[in-house]
Structure 1
């Protein structure tokens, strides 16, 4: 039950009523006691006066007063923050398919684990969210435009293909374009649902090498910030990953620093995972952040129910203890 954010706070003035009733009840009880003491022969008073319950006779009145307080709070319209499933949002899942994703430091491989976790993420997202898929290596491509068809996204995830180089900035720019295309189809930016990019990668950008290049990741992250689209990044892998390319063993450690900065510049959140189980946990956290929103709704029903129940209990208690209603 909540005591904040009343929609009709002026009803709280009615709390003066139970306070006044309490004062009047105490006064009447004292007056009865004073009148009783006026009898000279107290022994005769005890013999002729009906037997009355002791302090328990005050229980019905106490319950009734508490019920009035609860019902008054209900009338004031208390509100509380509630998490509700989003019925409108756009999410672009951008997955790195550079050659470093074939590293087996995460079993069975970085790419296979990423595919499994991404499909589970797609299944858990609330139905009203439009989910799109972008893959990126040396270039970025929209494999699935934002849609509520989860099967289309999962099928595309299953068919991801590895390629050379890593163009992280292009992935963000391509994702932003997919979001803008959906907004245009829905009637413009004013009608567009809130959007977010979820980027999973294991290495630093190689095309272009300068992250602040006009097509670089940092530049793209700043552009995402301007458009109000946060980029949540997932650094996936370990510092000890290697891949074999043309007979050479090449180390491919994860690059937390650049992915962390992309998230910071865009207003998103940075995550890291070095195993499939950790990656599942990251996606579960993102699903809660993206799939639900916090709104303030009516919280008066519990107060109303409890107040009504106490009124009934007060009446029943009065009949049992005093054989009359309070």
Structure 2
């Protein structure tokens, strides 16, 4: 505990003065009462019992605590809070314009993402990555929710899909520098140590799971796992899928959950599936962030003053019941 106004403790110097004066007052009262009793003017009063002696002690204690309250004490209180970094990695390939989730897969993901962003506490940093043929960091992890929402609103579906590239883009956003390749088995340990460790960080991947170009997302997931990052894939679409018309060609697209389940398992994350906008919003709510205990200073003047008031009330009550007066 720290004191905001420690000089107020000088008030404790008055406590001995008050106690000495009070004892002198009691002594005079007892001497006067004894003299009147000898003259037969008053009834002899028996010695005070221990309850009567307790009352002054409580009143003095109340005075001491009240002086301590005047110093404005500050106590360090451990508070639970959610914190960490979440990177939202959006698949913006052409297949995300499919309408098996209304109005489209991408628009439903963006709508649910806005709700997720609004609900996050200030202690959570949010980033946005868009991936088609490659992963592009459109907003680095920040606590500026307005910037994150603006990045989500700018997303548009077009091009091919590189799920591995999107994961590398998300890892780049977390690491704060570009990471463009996956380590080989011979250089894996060096590559992993160069990336660093980012516990308490998650990548939420919103995709239909279809992958049309490298790198292999499973290899990237292994690298991400070594960095202490969880991948939380959200599968968008239905197994039946939909047919898109692109440049006069009909292209069938459907949810491929096997790959998404593999990358979730590799990093200790959880694969979730959304086949409509409502279930997608519920999935966002179920994503777990780290709970940590942070020591936060709180002024406890009111609590100390309340303790002083309780001691004062207890002392006054005992005194009135035993002697018919407070002092």
**TM-score strictly above 0.5:** yes
Higher CA-based Rg: 2
Deviation at 1:284, TM superposition (A): 1.4
| Residue 150 of structure 1, CA deviation | 1.6
Relative to 1, partners in 2 of residues 1:235 and 1:311: Cα closer, same or farther, differing over 3 Å? farther
Structure 2: gaps of 5 or more residues: 1-76, 179-193, 301-307
Q: Distance in 1 between matches of 2:93 and 2:105?
A: 11
SS at match of 2:155: coil
Structure 1 residues not aligned, in runs of 5+: 1-79, 209-214, 302-307
Give the counterpart of 1:85 among 82, 98, 102. Answer: 82
What TM-score results when the alignment is normalised by the length of structure 1? 0.58
Q: Which runs of 4+ in 1 moved over 3 A?
A: 80-83, 188-194, 292-297, 310-319
RMSD of equivalent CA atoms: 4.5
SS of the aligned residue for 1:230 comes to strand
* Alignment partners' CA distance in 1, 2:292 and 2:177: 21
Aligned position for 1:9 = none
Aligned length: 248
Which position in structure 1 is the counterpart of 2:222?
222
Residues 34-85 of structure 1, C-alpha deviations (whole Å, 9 max, x = no match): xxxxxxxxxxxxxxxxxxxxxxxxxxxxxxxxxxxxxxxxxxxxxx996423
Compared with structure 1, are the counterparts of its residues 190 and 254 closer, same or farther at alpha carbon in structure 2 (3 Å cutoff)?
Answer: closer
Contact 2:233 2:271 in 1 (8 A): yes
CA shift for structure 1 position 251: 3.8
- Give the deviation of 1:181 after TM superposition: 1.4
Supply the distance in 1 between the matched residues of 2:259 and 2:195 (Cα, whole angstroms). 30
Deviation at 1:156, TM superposition (A): 1.9
C-alpha change, 1:284 and 1:316, in structure 2 (3 Å) is farther
Q: Which residue of 1 aligns with 2:207?
A: 201
Specify whether residues 175 and 253 from structure 1 end up closer, same or farther in structure 2 by C-alpha distance, changes over 3 A only: closer
Secondary structure of 1:162's partner? coil
- CA change 1:254–1:317 in 2 (3 A) is farther
Q: Can you list the C-alpha shifts for 1:140-185, whole angstroms capped at 9, x where unaligned? A: 11111222222222122112121232211111111112211179xx
- Change in CA separation of 1:205 and 1:274 when aligned onto 2, cut-off 3 Å: same
- Secondary structure, counterpart of 2:289 in structure 1: helix
Q: For the residues of structure 1 that align with 2:101 and 2:109, how far apart are their CA atoms?
A: 10
TM-score (norm 2): 0.58
Could you say which residue in structure 2 is the equivalent of 1:248?
Answer: 250
Tell me how far 1:241 sits from its aligned partner.
2.2
Cα contact 1:121–1:284 (8 A) shared by 2: yes
Taking the TM superposition and a 5 Å limit, the aligned residue runs for 1:1-326 are 83-86=80-83, 89-181=84-176, 194-208=200-214, 215-245=215-245, 246-248=248-250, 250-255=252-257, 257-286=258-287, 288-290=288-290, 292-293=291-292
